[in-house]
């Protein structure tokens, strides 16, 4: 049994991670400032003897004791991370330093949640971990992309300077129950629009691609990476099956049996045209690969949104 700190533990991915760690027998300290996290994601854990909730913003120093740290604190939806871009940068830089300082003092292994966005609008496809990326440092996504790139550099430099045990995961688009219905990401938008009978908003012509990983697969990969004793990373963790946004819309309409129409809206600036992970490194070195096809994952996700929306 270990004491494990999960920053961003009340968010979409963090709350699933808290569940898995508690099931395994660990003690979990969840730190969250509730910017995009929701109490309902962790409601069922309140009062559990292995669970502790601390409302705290990692931009400010935090002192507590733990054996391992999963650093997930950071808004992930483009709408949320652009709402207060400077705050997003602070979370990935000042916040990252604080969490690394804590890890250093506790001699705790730390896994940092990085992102496929470090590859920007990629010119290499599918993306491998040795690709350096194609990021606009001044564009509307830069607060997130560049923040996450600095965070990776900080992790690597704490590892080199202080022999800190670091694990870097580059997460590709992940979906599933507990994604905030209002967070503006494509799967939550399409499903809530389909269930309400509203038009599905396709940004641009819908030919841009993403690869969608179901949350259970992602969390399994994240924990495998944390618990391996050899490899720092970075590791791409995601599902390598690529879909255009038009294909995704069709799948959502089929699963919800909705008659919603499609409505084209302007493509946001710097929106990556294609994204797909090469996961050979995770397959070979961690023995991990995703198991849940999009059609299967959409079923439980749609069921969750039906309950949330009461439809
Ligand atoms: P989310 O927005 O649901 O969760 C983020 C959590 O961090 C929220 O609970 C939020 O309140 C908390 N938070 C934000 N800033 C904080 C701060 N300064 N101090 C303390 N808590 C703070 O997003 P998610 O999808 O669960 O993403 C979790 C992590 O995974 C993020 O770091 C994100 O960048 C990364 N990631 C997610 C995806 C994805 O597809 N879901 C893809 C790539 C990377
Ligand atoms: N820090 C923290 N909790 C701890 C230890 C450190 O929040 O348990 C913060 C503290 O604000 C510090 C930062 O992490 O400034 C970086 O710590 P480090 O030891 O790397 O640097 P230093 O204290 O030497 O600046
Ligand atoms: N998108 C869309 N309609 C929406 C929301 C998003 O067509 O209502 C597109 C968006 O332009 C992007 C893709 O879906 O190309 C994925 O967007 P999301 O915000 O989920 O994540 P990203 O991968 O861009 O960070």
Same domain assignment for residues 219 and 304: no
Rounded distance from Cα 186 to ligand 3 centre (Å): 5
Q: How many CB atoms lie within 10 A of CB 300?
A: 14
Same domain assignment for residues 85 and 226: yes
Would you say residue 283 lies in a domain?
A: no
Length of the chain, in residues: 311
Rounded-to-integer distance, Cα 14 and Cα 179, Å: 11
Task: Give the domain extent around 298.
Answer: 177-210+241-276+292-309
CATH number at 159 reads 3.40.50.720
Rounded-to-integer distance, Cα 109 and Cα 260, Å: 47
Question: Which residues pair with residue 47 across a beta bridge?
Answer: none
Same domain assignment for residues 143 and 183: no
For the CA of 162, the nearest atom of ligand 2: 20
Rounded distance from Cα 88 to ligand 1 centre (Å): 10
Would you say residue 150 lies in a domain?
A: yes
CATH number at 271 reads 3.90.25.10
Q: Look at ligand 3, atom 14, and give the residue with the nearest C-alpha.
A: 186
Per-residue pLDDT of the chain (311 residues; tens, 9 = 90+): 789 999 999 999 999 999 999 999 999 999 999 999 999 999 999 999 999 999 999 999 999 999 999 999 999 999 999 999 999 999 999 999 999 999 999 999 999 999 999 999 999 999 999 999 999 999 999 999 999 999 999 999 999 999 999 999 999 999 999 999 999 999 999 999 999 999 999 999 999 999 999 999 999 999 999 999 999 999 999 999 999 999 999 999 999 999 999 999 999 999 999 999 999 999 999 999 999 999 999 999 999 999 999 99
Would you say residue 286 lies in a domain?
A: no
């Amino acid at each position: 049994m270990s004491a494990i700190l999960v920053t961003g533990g009340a968010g979409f991915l963090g709350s699933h991670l808290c569940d898995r760690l508690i099931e395994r027998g660990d003690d979990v300290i969840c730190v969250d400032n509730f910017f995009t996290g929701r109490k309902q994601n962790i409601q069922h854990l309140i009062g559990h003897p292995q669970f502790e909730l601390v409302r705290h913003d990692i931009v400010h120093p935090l002192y507590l004791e733990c054996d391992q740290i999963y650093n997930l604190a950071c808004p992930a939806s483009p709408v949320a991370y652009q709402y207060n871009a400077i705050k997003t940068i602070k979370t990935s830089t000042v916040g990252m330093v604080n969490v690394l300082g804590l890890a250093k003092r506790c001699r705790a292994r730390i896994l940092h949640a990085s992102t496929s966005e470090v590859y920007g609008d990629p010119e290499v496809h599918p993306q491998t971990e040795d690709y350096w990326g194609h990021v606009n440092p001044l564009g509307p996504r830069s607060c997130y992309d560049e923040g996450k790139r600095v965070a990776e550099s900080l992790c690597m430099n704490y590892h080199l300077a202080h022999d800190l045990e670091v694990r870097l995961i580059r997460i590709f688009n992940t979906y599933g129950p507990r994604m905030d219905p209002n967070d503006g990401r494509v799967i939550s938008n399409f499903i809530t629009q389909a269930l309400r009978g509203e038009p599905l908003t396709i940004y641009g012509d819908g030919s841009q691609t993403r690869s969608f990983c179901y949350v259970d697969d992602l969390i399994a990969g994240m924990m495998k990476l944390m618990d391996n004793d050899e490899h720092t990373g970075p590791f791409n963790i995601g599902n390598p099956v690529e879909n255009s946004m038009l294909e995704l819309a069709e799948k959502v309409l089929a699963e919800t049996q909705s008659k919603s129409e499609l409505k084209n809206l302007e493509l946001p600036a710097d929106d990556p045209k294609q994204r797909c992970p090469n996961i050979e490194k995770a397959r070979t070195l961690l023995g991990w690969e995703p198991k849940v096809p999009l059609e299967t994952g959409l079923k439980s996700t749609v069921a969750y949104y039906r309950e949330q929306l009461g439809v």
